[in-house]
Amino acid sequence: MSSSGVAEDLKRGLEGLLVQVREDARGGITVEVLPDRLVEAAERLRNLGFDHVKSVTGIDLPSEKRVAVVYHLSSYTNPAYVKVIVALRTAVERSNPQLPSLSKVWLSSHYLERETFDLVGVVFQGHPDLGRILLPDDYEGPPPLRKDVVLKTEGIDA
Amino acid sequence: MTLEVVEKHLELLIGPQHPGSGHMRLVAKLDGDIIVGFDPDVGFVHRAVEKIAETKGYVQIIPLVERPPLVDCVNVNLGYVLALEKLLGVEPPPQASYLRVLAAELNRVASHLYGIAIHAIMIGSSTMFMWPLADREVLLELLQDLSGARVTYSYVIPGGVRRGLPEGFKEKALKAFRYLRRRLRDYDDLFLSNPVTVNRLRGVGVIEMRDAVNLGIVGPNLRASGVPYDVRRAEPYCVYSDLDFEVMTRREGDAYSRLLVRIGEIEQSMKIVEQCLDKNPSGPILHESFLRGLSPKARAYMEQTGRVRFPALFSALKPPQGEVSVRVEAGRGELFFYVVSDGSPTPYRLRMVTPSFRNLAAFRHVMVGNRLADIPAIYGSLDYFPPEADR
Amino acid sequence: MTGRAETFLSNAARWVSAKQPIKSIIDWGITFSLWPVHFTTACCGAEFAATSAPRYDAERFGVLPFVSSRQTNLLVIEGTLTKKMAKAAKIVYEQMPEPRFVVAMGACAIDGGVFWNSYNIVRPHEILPIDAFIPGCPPRPEALIQAVMMLQAKIRKGIAAFE
């Protein structure tokens, strides 16, 4: 099934939810949704056949004062969707990044959301075990993947 | 005076300094001998690859992403360079694609031999620790002939590969495979059919198919639970769609079947490398657009020795704005890259989800209900490599 | 009365073992039984495992990786030391019996290596006394064996970091 066939399936399956389904020039499919519709969109995608999360990425966008959170989904069992990866994208406010957790919809997002909380600072409400996972427990300072944390670079201040 | 006996669960810390824990801490809650709760404490090797990648040029990131999964680096290198090439809109020439697959499959065999060796020492078979590590040296000699380094080859570069096939490589590789096939029979006699191994691993640490899918685990762990998912067949990259190989799957989902899947994949990888050596087309190993900037002297050097001179363009590669996601099948499972570029020489965001981090979800599920003495057997069978998971 | 005899005897033993022929014999014994503790710090651990493998066979130099930190006298910092792991490394070093030695393996253990600007690593020479630094990323197993031989020479000359 071509990726535009998948995009059509998604548009039909997510009807009425105020989502935007985009397909870019390289064939990547993105479903853009607002945070308050995130859980419902996720449940509908799971019922369509997307059964696991491959990655949860937090992208700090200080110029827009937002943090974008992207879930990459695919399927192990549905042969049409095994070949594609769908990006489920939403954005929260940078000063207070709160998002409902999708760990009840997809068990595979448990540790990925925890990592995004630890490194980007997004709080996932309803997550059963939100806490530090990669950074040491006594780490102090802003979440490291934010653009406020600046690392030394060669040739300039090393 | 009367004594009161209070029953409590024991919390056992199997800390970083332990032969059975690797570079992490395992926190096990025990009721007598049975594990009732399990929590892996990771982050001991978190070196912040994703943050450092935002300060380095695109070609400088190649050695950086190769370090976490050290024994399996060509596959990670390949995944990253495929993402970069997707952003640049560049397709490597055919000979380069075959060489990439050849290096990737040789590395897959080396990675599986390392995983089997660590699994064996964890359940007490020190001979099976020595034998695969010694046989892995044969493959490291082949890869050293091909790329110049024992591990961390940085062999795949944007637009192609760094070196062509050296003289006499095909004969050496075929001889190595004859040796390895004999050794696989020895492994079977010593370890796989050994009643001690079978009793230790059969029926231990079972992951049912439905749980494997829900937890999102990857690689041989997933295939041993009955899900025939392999990125090389699901979304073929490089020349995998032209190659003939089987996806090893088993149904039981226990530690023994995970071991058998890895042994089976060694044989399949050798088959793939033999096909690559047969079909190897002649031609350039680096894309035309990168060769254009080189001086005639550099090009003559390349023709003479078969080694690439990096064009000056590589020092400040600026892909167009956009984002891409790419997946490859690394030795331990599926590796996922998501690169966001803003048109500058360094990426805006590099996201790398390694197979070991995805397999972390299996720990809590699979350990509960087993005995304390089964922890090393199950841990080794999952082939979890902490530097890869923590990045 | 017994207390003074014990102190007298232990002082005497220390005086005798510092005298030349016995000191050489003790140092010779130490150099051929440098047992590293099972403490993998980061990715150089894979090349450390290859050093114990049949091709390079570290055991012919007396280097046998052993499970307990209470019975080993060599700590090999294999690769990058993160903040969380550094706390554990300090505890393991203090658990080891004396005389104890530390070898820093890899570019990351010298000055950070390819992760030099990471927010989560420490430089091992700032927290532990190191006898030999091995450059490489990862170093070849032959380099690790050369570092062990250098450490052996240092011990026999009496200039190891521990003294």
- A55-99: pLDDT as tens digits: 999 999 999 899 999 999 999 988 888 888 899 999 999 888 899
Report the distance separating Cα C75 and Cα A123, nearest Å: 40
B344-365 burial, b at 16+ Cβ within 10 Å, e below that, comes to eebbbbbbbbbbbbbbbbbbbb
CA angle at residue B315 from B314 to B316, to 5 degrees? 90
Question: CA distances (Å), A8 to each of A22, A23, B35, B49, in order?
Answer: 10, 10, 47, 37
Residue in chain A nearest B360 by alpha carbon: A111
Cβ-based interface (< 8 Å): residues of A facing C:
135-136, 139, 144, 149, 151-153, 158
Give the mean model confidence (pLDDT) for residues C107-136.
90
Residue from B339, B357, B335 nearest B56 by CA: B339
Q: Considering only CB atoms, which chain A residues are within 8 Å of B340?
A: 59
A-proximal residues of C, 53-92, CB under 8 Å: 82-84
* Residue C71 within a domain: yes
C37 shares contact with chain B (CB less than 8 Å): yes
Mutate to test the interface with A, among B45, B51, B324, B329 (most CBs of A within 10 A): B51
Give the phi and the psi of residue B224 in degrees, each rounded to 5: -75, -15
* Residue C6 within a domain: no
- The pLDDT > 70 percentage for chain A reads 95
3-class DSSP state of C33: coil
Indicate if the pLDDT at residue C118 is higher than 50: yes
> Between B46, B234, B351, which is nearest A55 by CB?
B351
Q: What subunits touch chain A, counting only 3 or more CB pairs under 8 A?
A: B, C
Domain extent at residue C38: 21-157
Contact A149 C119 (CB under 8 A): yes
For chains A and C, what is the number of CB pairs under 8 angstroms?
Answer: 15
What does the DSSP 8-state code read for residue B371? B
> Between B46, B63, B134, which is nearest C114 by CB?
B63
Q: Considering only CB atoms, which chain B residues are within 8 Å of C82?
A: 43-47
Residue in chain A nearest B323 by alpha carbon: A28
Contact A72 B336 (CB under 8 A): yes
pLDDT below 70 — which residues of chain B?
none
Q: Which amino acid is at B304?
A: Q
B271 shares contact with chain C (CB less than 8 Å): no
DSSP for B127-152, written as a single string: HHHHHHHHHHHHHHHHHHHHHS-SS-
C70 shares contact with chain B (CB less than 8 Å): no
> Between A135, A136, A153, which is nearest C117 by CB?
A153
Contact B133 C88 (CB under 8 A): no
What does the pLDDT read at residue B349? 93
Report the distance separating Cα C134 and Cα C122, nearest Å: 17
Report the distance separating Cα B234 and Cα B17, nearest Å: 40
10 Å Cβ neighbour count for B179?
12
- Give chain C's mean pLDDT: 89
| pLDDT tens profile C2-40 | 678 888 888 888 888 888 888 889 889 999 999 999 888
Report the distance separating Cα A41 and Cα A58, nearest Å: 19
Q: Considering only CB atoms, which chain C residues are within 8 Å of B118?
A: 49
Q: Which amino acid is at A130?
A: L
Tell me the domains of chain A and their CATH numbers: 3-95 (3.30.460.80)
A96-135 burial, b at 16+ Cβ within 10 Å, e below that, comes to ebebbbbbebbbbbbbbbbbbbbbbbbebeebeebeebbb
Q: Considering only CB atoms, which chain C residues are within 8 Å of A153?
A: 117
C83/chain A closest Cα distance in angstroms:
7
> Between A53, A85, A107, which is nearest B325 by CB?
A85
Specify the CATH number for B10-390; select among 1.10.645.10, 3.40.190.10, 2.40.30.10, 3.40.605.10.
Answer: 1.10.645.10
Q: What subunits touch chain B, counting only 3 or more CB pairs under 8 A?
A: A, C
Residue A158: pLDDT band with limits 50, 70, 90: very low
B92/chain C closest Cα distance in angstroms:
28
What does the pLDDT read at residue C2? 64
Report the distance separating Cα B314 and Cα A26, nearest Å: 23
Give the mean model confidence (pLDDT) for residues A91-118.
90
Q: What subunits touch chain C, counting only 3 or more CB pairs under 8 A?
A: A, B
Residue in chain B nearest C46 by alpha carbon: B71
Report the distance separating Cα B110 and Cα B105, nearest Å: 9
Peptide bond preceding C99 in cis form (omega within 30 of 0): yes
Contact C120 A152 (CB under 8 A): no
Contact C84 A136 (CB under 8 A): yes
Give the phi and the psi of residue A142 in degrees, each rounded to 5: -70, 160
- Expressed in percent and rounded to 5, the helix, strand and coil fractions of chain B are 50, 15, 35
Contact A136 C118 (CB under 8 A): no
Q: Considering only CB atoms, which chain B residues are within 8 Å of C84?
A: 43-44, 46
What does the pLDDT read at residue B297? 86
Indicate if the pLDDT at residue A1 is higher than 60: no
CB-hemisphere CA count at 13 Å for B38?
Answer: 23
Q: Considering only CB atoms, which chain C residues are within 8 Å of B152?
A: 137-138
Indicate if the pLDDT at residue A15 is higher than 80: no
Q: What's the CATH number where C95 sits?
A: 3.40.50.12280
What does the pLDDT read at residue A2? 57
Report the distance separating Cα B31 and Cα C22, nearest Å: 52
3-class DSSP state of B363: helix
Domain count for chain C: 1
Tokens matching residue B354 = 């390694």
Contact A136 C119 (CB under 8 A): no
β pairing state of C132-134 and C101-105: parallel
Q: Considering only CB atoms, which chain A residues are within 8 Å of C120?
A: 135-136, 144
What does the pLDDT read at residue B310? 84
- Give chain A's mean pLDDT: 86
Helix (H) or strand (E) holding B340: strand B333-341
Question: CA distances (Å), C89 to each of B53, B193, C77, C84, C123, in order?
Answer: 27, 39, 8, 9, 12
Contact B214 A51 (CB under 8 A): yes
> Between B43, B51, B137, which is nearest C55 by CB?
B137
